[in-house]
């Protein structure tokens, strides 16, 4: 069983408190957390900018969020996996490696 935590969007749901709530729930029910970053798309970006505020995810921002997620997962004893790593593992399984 797993819970998808994503997309994590700058200044919307990337705070430690927001992340921790999902991670704690996953640990409580024995689910793995697969987390992923917001991947900009023109229509989604326009919608967020028009209705809320512009979103500008950067590599530095995502690196910090990943560190926060991994720290919370370690503190809570939850199994967490970055979606990109999960994709790599799935490709290797399909390839028989």
Q: Six-digit token pair at 51?
A: 């209705």
Mean pLDDT score, 54-82 = 96
Task: Please write the tens of the pLDDT for every residue from 4-62.
Answer: 999 999 999 999 999 999 999 999 999 999 999 999 888 988 888 888 888 889 999 99
CA distance 23 to 16: 10
The kind and range of the H/E element at 37 are strand 32-37
Q: Six-digit token pair at 1?
A: 């069983």
Please name the residue that has the structure tokens 């998808």. 4
In the prediction, which pLDDT does 20 show? 98
């Amino acid at each position: 069983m797993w819970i998808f935590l994503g997309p994590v969007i700058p200044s919307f749901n990337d705070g430690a408190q927001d992340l921790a709530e999902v991670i704690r729930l996953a640990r409580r029910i024995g689910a793995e957390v697969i987390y992923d970053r917001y991947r900009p798309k023109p229509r989604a970006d326009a919608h967020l900018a028009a209705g809320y505020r512009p979103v500008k995810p950067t590599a530095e921002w995502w690196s910090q969020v990943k560190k926060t997620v991994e720290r919370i997962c370690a503190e809570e004893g939850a199994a967490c996996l970055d979606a990109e790593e999960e994709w790599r593992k799935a490709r290797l399984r399909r390839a028989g490696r």
